[in-house]
Structure 1
């Protein structure tokens, strides 16, 4: 899975579970930061959400859940 696909997945889940606009959730999630697999062998990505306390909690909680299923991301498909 790529970083862009992870953002799309997170946006879809947040809209479904919490409501609101896709654009707003995409802004709240921000960019997915990727780390080298050599130094982060178990999970190589993170997000730094913004927004209200409840929005940040929603994004971080979902990110924690998705890290269990998708611990390693790539920067692009291929």
Structure 2
């Protein structure tokens, strides 16, 4: 999976489960940072969500779930 597809998946799930808008969630998620598999062999991506405490908690929870199913991303 690519970083763009993972962001699309995050936005779709957040929009479905919590409403608001695609723009709101994309802005709150922010960019995904990809790391080399040689230095991060178990999970090569990370996000630093922004916004209010509730939005950050929702995003972080979903990120934790998705790290289990999609630990390694491609460009």
| TM > 0.5 | yes
> Where do 5+ consecutive residues of structure 1 fail to align?
none
Structure 1 runs (4+) deviating above 4 angstroms are none
Number of equivalenced pairs: 75
TM-score normalised by the chain length of structure 2: 0.98
Alpha-carbon distance, 1:5 to partner:
0.3
For residues 25-73 of structure 1, what are the alpha-carbon distances to aligned partners after superposition, in whole Å with 9 as ceiling and x for unaligned?
0000000000100010000001000000000001110000000000000
Partner of 1:64: 64
Q: How does 1:18-29 map to 2 (within 5 A)?
A: 18-29=18-29
> Where do 5+ consecutive residues of structure 2 fail to align?
none
